[in-house]
Structure 1
Amino acid sequence: MISEFKNYTLGEITKILNGSTPSTKKIEYYENGTIPWITPKDLSGHPFRNISRGERNITQLGLQNSSTKLLPRGTVLFSSRAPIGYVAIAANEVTTNQGFKSFICNEEIILTEYLYYFLIAKKEYIESLANGSTFKELSLTSTKNIPIKLPNLQAQKKVAETLGDLDRKIELNYSIIDNLEKLAERTYKYWFLDETIPDDRKNMIVRENVKIGEVVKIMGGGTPKTSNESYWENGDINWFTPSDLTSSKEIFVLDSQRKITREGLENSSAKLIPPYSLLLSSRATIGELAINQKSTTTNQGFIVIIPNEKISIYQLYFWAKLNKNKIISMANGSTFKEISKKDFKTIEIPIIKDTTSFNSIMHDYFKQIEELTKEIRILKLTRDKLTPRLIV
């Protein structure tokens, strides 16, 4: 596909810009702002190549009184600290904080989509260029000096289209999953929250509020001693941390970043959790949810809820999702907020007399979501194996 290359540095073929943060003490820099302001956190678990906005906006006044720049549509955003390596393409005009190096391509030499995949392919190399004692950061000078071998524009286009086809299918699947989750949430609300119950459903939907700790088993997790290699080396038992959930943003999780051994499990407070339980992060980032597809363990940053014949995983998932703010409000702590299992067990959950029809409907939704998630993993694996072969 590619035969001839020319050598450049990124500084020669792109305009590279830093971002910044308008003073957070000035409410007028943020309140009712309409200018998208992206931070690395906004890209954590972001499943799409393009991004149109982040969690916060800034105002025109905030833009004018800071060193952040208004970046045009098509700018490639690359997180340059905490962490290094998130990549996205601006879908419209955006600004960023100081955690980014943003690239405006000279499209007579390099295509935006090609640069996007180049930065992904070279993530480890780029990370090695970072410096810093508190946290690693990529400097503007180092970024400008990153070498790149470029094929001609036609070859770049073929590479971008090949990888883009895979990403478009991945993005389509995520969109379908999002729609299925919305339909499933509406179904949950109808059965458990709606005030008006049709006459033909009144005998089936008889609701009662009970404490969650009275109707399901609640478990916690633990961390095997990290200094003992035999607890970790060549481990094959999943061991989830809250960061696994925040980086995934998927309903179903199959594998954790780190794994423990059987010896590590037996010599710690970690517990083996049955498949299709609900993992709920209980500290640091509280309220992140996932359903484990196989037996797993977690660290102590979780409350794990085990479904049963009366309370299905489908009911637990949407109950926890819709009660996230309540769960967060019950957290305590000076160093970091955490909700205890004791307090969590007191939260009320609505139950109904007969869940057969509800579970049948929800099973279909969740089965489709699970299958689409499986397909996404295969597509990502294919893309990730192909990318370094196509990007020199």
Structure 2
Amino acid sequence: MTTNKNLHKLPEKWEWTTLSELGIIVSGGTPSTEEPEFWGGEISWITPSDLSNYKEKYISNGSRNITIEGLTASSARLIPKGSIIFSSRAPIGYVAIAKNDLCTNQGFKNLVITDSLYSDYIYYYLKSIKHIAENLASGTTFLELSGSKFGSINIPIAPIIEQYKIVSRIEELNSALDNSEDLLLKVVRHLAIYKQSLLKSAFYGNLKNKFKGNWKDGELGDIYNFIGGGTPSKKDPSYWNGNIFWASVKDIQEPYLSTTLDRITEKGLKDSSTNLALVDDVILISRINPGKIAIAKSEVAINQDLKIVRPLSSNKIDNKFTYYLFLYLENEIVKLSKGTTVKGIRVDELKSIKISYPDIKTQKSLVSELDQNYSLADDLLASALSCLKRIETYRHIILHKAFRGELIEFDNIDSANDLLIKVKSEKENYLNSIEFLKRKTVKVPQIKKTLLELLKDEFSDETFSMIDIKNRIKLSEKNLKQELFKLLDSKDVNSFFCNDIKEILYKLK
């Protein structure tokens, strides 16, 4: 039991305690990635990335498994079904219940509980105290929650019957919110489809036919100039924190760009390759997140990942028409973008994109029609997104009320104190009986065959290639090459070049 004056008052027969008093805290670990025999086994191994966007309450496996050898030779610990896993870094606060025996990496602090406790109750409480866990964390490179700090977190314990009632009520209310959320997400998806259909109609469908005008076929390069940007040297402070807005990819978030996170000076503008977008210029992202656009509502300099889309003849092309045209072309720009690490599209590729465009009068008529329909869709979208935010707020309110005893009526038959006494006894027995909690992290000596012995087992009198070795012998590539070179030096293995297959082959002495 915990006596802390800062804790809120609990209902009768409830008790405050801490996670360390409630269960056994177990950290995780990662087997060496240099040892292939440690990986690909039957033991589930969870990392925080496995819980990113994970919506389920229970988890049975992650993206990778480890072997019993990997478990034994690392600080990973096999925790039993029903344990609660809690990410303690990068980020803090992911929660799930182990659906089966599994282990985690070192990015978790896991709570092993006894049979008298209810995992689901603790799961929902931990989901409600992410902010508390973050405040207890420390670190310079990234915040991390230590085992002792995790164990010090206070938790209100209701009698077991009331725990089940609380969880049932939480899930009943969440189910209703889930249904509303699904409907709202469906609205959001349909609005996105509707807006895309409007663009298609404007350039190739009913709207185009409605405002017939004089349409021409051509390429973007026929009517637009693409002006690149740059970045003043970060080493020269005289270039920065001036009065000129300077945009990069992170600033292109909304249809209109009025301000930026960074600013540069007149000197920074003059001494670098950046260029200045004028009011109503369209700014296109050409690299990192290609295809996204915004309309400048202030004069703004741009970096090298952006392009100013400026009509070659301002009296023939409407800027808002340009905006809608590039909204329509976004998917094509993304498809044309290339790059392994960072995607981007070249100016010559942009200029060669085929388009159809009308006279200036028809452009303005199309813009007026699109503005009207887009405005209606955007109003509906804003309303749907606002409702989605409120749903998330309601979820927090439900958990807040749940652990103050405000969601259910009380039976007042059992007491949490009796439950905690029982848990303490079970926990002591548990600690004495579970082998994985008694032993420390040790490297268990493993009897391994040398590479020479493995080669003799596999190839005997055969000739073999490096690919043959890799296919038949489980060793990391680095270790394999080191050991093979030693065998070549000692003449236990000979090598020769086979002209028929143009490859180096090996043969045992």
After TM superposition, the score normalised by the length of structure 1 is 0.56
CA–CA separation in structure 1 for the residues paired with 2:148 and 2:301: 37
What are the superposed Cα offsets for residues 249-289 of structure 1, whole Å, 9 maximum, x if unpaired? x7669999x8345xx35443465775895563624xx4384
Cα deviations across residues 50-101 of structure 1 (Å, max 9, x unaligned)?
269xxxx95xxx53658799998997663723xx3474668x99x9995853
* Pairing 1:78–2:125 present: no
Secondary structure in structure 2 of the residue aligned to 1:350: strand
Q: 1:381 to 1:12 in 2, by over 3 A?
A: closer
Match of 1:215 among 215, 224, 234: 224
- Report how many residues are paired: 347
Q: Does 1:179 align with 2:190?
A: yes
- Residues 114, 279 of structure 1: alpha-carbon distance in 2 compared, 3 angstrom cutoff: farther
Name the CA distance, whole Å, in 1 between partners of 2:128 and 2:335: 37
> Which amino acid is the alignment partner of residue 148 of structure 1?
I
Q: Is the 8 A contact 1:312 1:359 kept in 2?
A: no
Contact 2:290-2:345 at 8 Å conserved across structures = no
Cα distance in 2 for residues equivalent to 1:382 and 1:364: 27
Q: How far apart are 1:150 and its partner, in Å?
A: 1.6
Contact 2:184–2:388, Cα closer than 8 Å, also in 1: yes
**3-state SS, counterpart of residue 63 of structure 1:** strand
Distance 1:78 1:319, change over 3 A: farther
Aligned equivalent of 2:16, options 6, 16, 25: 6
Q: Match for residue 300 of structure 1?
A: 303
The corresponding residue for 2:65 is 63
Deviations 1:221-243 (Å, cap 9, x if unpaired)? Answer: 6467477499459x99686554x
Q: 1:101 and 2:97 equivalent?
A: no
Q: Distance in 2 between matches of 1:347 and 1:42?
A: 43
Gaps of 5+ in 2: 1-6, 310-317, 405-509
Distance 1:63 1:41, change over 3 A: closer
Gaps of 5+ in 1: none
Identity %: 9
1:181 shift after superposition: 1.3
Among 327, 352, 365, the residue aligned to 2:377: 365
Give the drift of 1:340: 6.6
Cα distance change, pair 101–143 in 1 and its aligned pair in 2 (3 A): farther
Q: Distance in 1 between matches of 2:258 and 2:84?
A: 33
Mapped partners of 2:304, 2:335: distance in 1? 17
Distance 2:232 2:247 in 1: 9
Given that 1:19 and 1:98 are in contact with CA atoms closer than 8 Å, whether structure 2 keeps it comes out as yes
Contact 1:232 1:259 in 2 (8 A): no
Name the aligned partner's letter for residue 344 of structure 2.
I
Residues in 2 aligned to 1:320 and 1:347: alpha-carbon distance in whole angstroms: 14
1:19 Cα deviation from its structure 2 partner: 8.1
Matches within 5 A, 1:129-168: 130=139, 136=142, 138=144, 142=147, 145-153=150-158
Using a 3 Å threshold, how does the CA distance of structure 1 residues 298 and 145 change in structure 2: closer, same or farther? farther
Secondary structure of the 1:310 match is helix
Distance in 2, matches of 1:344 and 1:226, equals 34
Aligned runs of 1:224-303 on 2, under 5 Å?
A: 225=234, 228=237, 231=240, 241-242=249-250, 259-260=261-262, 264-269=264-269, 280=285, 282-283=287-288, 286-287=289-290, 289=292, 291=294, 300=303, 302-303=305-306
C-alpha displacement at 1:159, in angstroms?
Answer: 12
TM-score (norm 2): 0.46
Query: Which of 304, 325, 328 lines up with 2:335 in the alignment?
Result: 325
Look up the SS of the partner of 1:312 in the other structure: helix
Q: 1:188 aligns with which of 192, 195, 199?
A: 199
339 and 120 in structure 1: CA distance in 2 versus 1, 3 angstrom threshold: same
Q: After superposition, give the CA deviation of every residue in 1:12-66 in whole Å (9 maximum; x if it has no partner).
A: 548767587998999xx99xxxx998864984xx6xx8269xxxx95xxx53658
What is the one-letter code of the residue matched to 2:209? R
The CA deviation at 1:320 is 1.8
- Deviations 1:166-222 (CA, angstroms, capped at 9, x unpaired): x978887555333311332344345557xxx67993874967342268437655464
Cα distance change on mapping 1:289 and 1:192 into 2, 3 Å: same
Determine the C-alpha separation between the residues in 1 that align with 2:135 and 2:47: 23
Specify which of 290, 298, 310 is matched with residue 321 of structure 2.
310
- Structure label with greater radius of gyration: 2
Superposition map of 1:24-43 within 5 A: 40=49, 43=52
Residue 148 of structure 1, CA deviation = 0.8
Whichever residue aligns with residue 320 of structure 1, its letter is: E
Secondary structure of 2:322's aligned partner: coil
Q: Distance in 2 between matches of 1:173 and 1:276?
A: 34
Identify which range, 142-151 or 294-303, moves more after superposition.
294-303
Q: 2:209 aligns with which of 173, 180, 201?
A: 201
- In structure 2, C-alpha distance between the alignment counterparts of 1:364 and 1:24, rounded to whole Å: 57
Distance in 2 separating the partners of 1:120 and 1:208: 57
Determine helix, strand or coil for the equivalent of 1:339: coil
Shift of 1:8: 1.6
Q: Go from structure 1 to structure 2 and tell me whether the alpha carbon gap of 1:145 and 1:226 turns closer, same or farther (over 3 Å shift).
A: farther
Q: Using the alignment, how far apart are the partners of 1:204 and 1:74 within structure 2?
A: 67
2:268 maps to a residue whose letter is S
| Distance in 2 (alpha carbons) for counterparts of 1:296 and 1:391 | 52
Distance 1:25 1:152, change over 3 A: closer
Partner secondary structure for residue 78 of structure 1: strand
Q: Conserved in 2, the CA contact under 8 Å of 1:220 and 1:302?
A: yes
Taking the aligned partners of 1:297 and 1:390, their CA distance within structure 2 comes to 50
> Residue type matched to 1:362 in 2?
Y
Tell me which residue corresponds to 2:353.
348
**What is the identity, as a one-letter code, of the residue corresponding to 1:259?**
L
Q: 2: CA distance between counterparts of 1:159 and 1:293?
A: 50
What's the secondary structure of 2:219's corresponding residue?
strand
- Give a deviation string over 1:124-156, Cα, whole Å, max 9, x none: 532x1x47xxx64748x6377452112345798
Tell me if the contact between 2:227 and 2:307 (Cα under 8 Å) persists in the aligned partners: yes
**Structure-2 separation of matches of 1:391 and 1:293:** 49
Please say if residues 223 and 299 of structure 1, whose CA atoms lie closer than 8 Å, have aligned partners that are also in contact: no
SS of equivalent residue, structure 2 residue 355: strand
